[in-house]
Structure 1
């Protein structure tokens, strides 16, 4: 029997014709606070999803290319149009450009490579996903973002993921929405549950774990995954919920971190080094580690810690001077 990968289940809450705001998830991870230093320019994120509406006002010019691996449009590899909406929404969270209208992504100057591996029904063969990953490797992307998954551990899929990581590519995946709001039980989705993958769970605005987010020991960190506003089909905007919406926040954050870290160290960091830089920029929320991993991605946490330590040092100096 042939196995299929599907969209991580998600919920469409609202559609809108016009909006003008920085989405709450982008703000929560503190992305706007470091846009003066970087907006992700020169970093390429491969979005493996249902395709993308690259004519959307907030996405025009963001894609440097694309390819269709599905059976949509007769399997034409050059047509990677999105008929579902999911891929367009994910792409917007990563890199919707700043044009004083609509929304803005976490890394608004990052490049997108649109790899359509799920058809209009949100379903894809494992072969399509594997081919998409291999194409991303060939194109030498920096990050692979996948808001998809399935219950089956397929050796060929795992092999493709490991090959990507060996080629210094960060692989980000939504943890899955099969959670039962009970961290004593485990729910696994692949490829998110592979150790080499950065598995992203979801929280709400109150920083509590979403009741749908998967729990297991492979969760690395979390981002906002409820009521996420982003780009959608036909130039519209949509508010969606799911770990599918949390994962692209981390993909965008990694685009910013890669620029910051490479500039600071004066060289290209390896995949393990960049992963470490990501985890350094998380804060624990007090939820179960099986739900939140290392915690919420928070891009300015190092600056906050430096300020705290500086203040503690000054307090110590002033105290010693007064005695």
Structure 2
């Protein structure tokens, strides 16, 4: 393969393409071919500054490049590479209202306070791929590690949207009697800022975020977002995390339909739907046999920007409850595999209450229960996981 020609084909497009313009994910079939292309890129970028705008993911053998340049590549090197659109994805949240400091109903609903005598999630590292976090919030000051800002390298992953801070609060707020408490208050959060102030990100940003979590030996990844379309690159990096022993817990989406978004629909992820305060599947929540577990997701109070608090609804909020419960268990059983964790979450979930006309078999899993999870996880070894009836 002509590696010099490969990069020369891109240089003209790189010089005129907007920084956050349309992009493509270029994946190499062969690891040796990718290594050679990567080596040539490293040597050329010192002389060609435009090449520094190319982002890389050695984990899935990919480069992220401007769309127009990718069209040239596929014509010349179609036997060596595959190209897919770098799609947009959105956070899974609905509008909410400001609130005061309370013990969140969702934290109580999954029986997290009763579980704290057994585990508070100490030393468990959670990657939160989201909009960042408010490092000045008093309830989060002991819960946040430095993380990474994928949009502005070298800067702290500061939240300019609010969604990431809300997720962080449900996961690990430790405000005590004067503030908010999260599900796993002694776990350590690593914000991975992949989403901009509008709550939008590219698949390539998510790939880089998961890549970073794997390289930094994160224990769990919370992914409160999704998209309708399959992505080969996204699935590949989810597989890499799965085989590295990192559980990915993902929200199913807020369309109120059977089915759901990716990455939750990948079989390697733990798919989460939302229940309301009556423990019924929330009207906005996606549902179906592929859902592994439901978490509290309607009118959930948590931390917000400028040291505030806000109620939000969505499968995003449900996911952070489930990730927090998983962190409580991993603190006791750090050797659990993602597969074993999924089975325990499904086995220990409580039945959800059915709405008129609903059948339990069409909903998937039950409602998360942290206390039951810890009791089962500390005394038994998981049995083999049965295949799901719904395709991913």
TM-score, with length taken from structure 1: 0.85
Greater Rg over alpha carbons, structure: 2
**Alignment deviations for residues 270-313 of structure 1 (CA, whole Å, 9 cap, x no partner):** 222222222232112244456642200112337999xxxxxxxx
* 1:198-277 equivalences in 2 (<5 Å): 198-262=270-334, 268-277=335-344
TM-score, with length taken from structure 2: 0.70
Offset, 1:27: 0.3
Aligned equivalents of 1:118, 1:304: Cα separation in 2: 36
Determine the structure 1 residue equivalent to 2:60: none
Structure 1: stretches of 5+ with no match in the other structure = 181-185, 263-267, 306-323
Larger RCO of the pair (alpha carbons < 8 Å, separation 6+): 1
Determine the structure 2 residue equivalent to 1:34: 115
Tell me whether 1:193 sits opposite 2:262 in the alignment: no
**Alignment deviations for residues 141-177 of structure 1 (CA, whole Å, 9 cap, x no partner):** 1100011111111100001111111011110011100
**Alignment deviations for residues 97-156 of structure 1 (CA, whole Å, 9 cap, x no partner):** 143212100000000000001001110011001100110011111100011111111100
Change over 3 Å in CA distance of 1:289–1:135 after alignment to 2: farther
Aligned equivalents of 1:188, 1:280: Cα separation in 2: 22
Equivalent residue in structure 2 for 1:177, among 254, 268, 276: 254
Determine the structure 1 residue equivalent to 2:98: 15
Aligned equivalents of 1:50, 1:302: Cα separation in 2: 29
Aligned equivalents of 2:345, 2:194: Cα separation in 1: 27
Structure 2: stretches of 5+ with no match in the other structure = 1-84, 377-392
Equivalent residue in structure 2 for 1:44, among 122, 125, 129: 125
Aligned equivalents of 1:302, 1:65: Cα separation in 2: 30
Change over 3 Å in CA distance of 1:257–1:130 after alignment to 2: same
Aligned equivalents of 1:137, 1:215: Cα separation in 2: 29
**Alignment deviations for residues 4-45 of structure 1 (CA, whole Å, 9 cap, x no partner):** 011114221x113x42x2100000000000111110001011
Change over 3 Å in CA distance of 1:292–1:231 after alignment to 2: farther
8 Å contact 1:215–1:290 — kept in the other structure?
A: no
Pairwise CA RMSD: 1.8
Determine the structure 2 residue equivalent to 1:84: 161
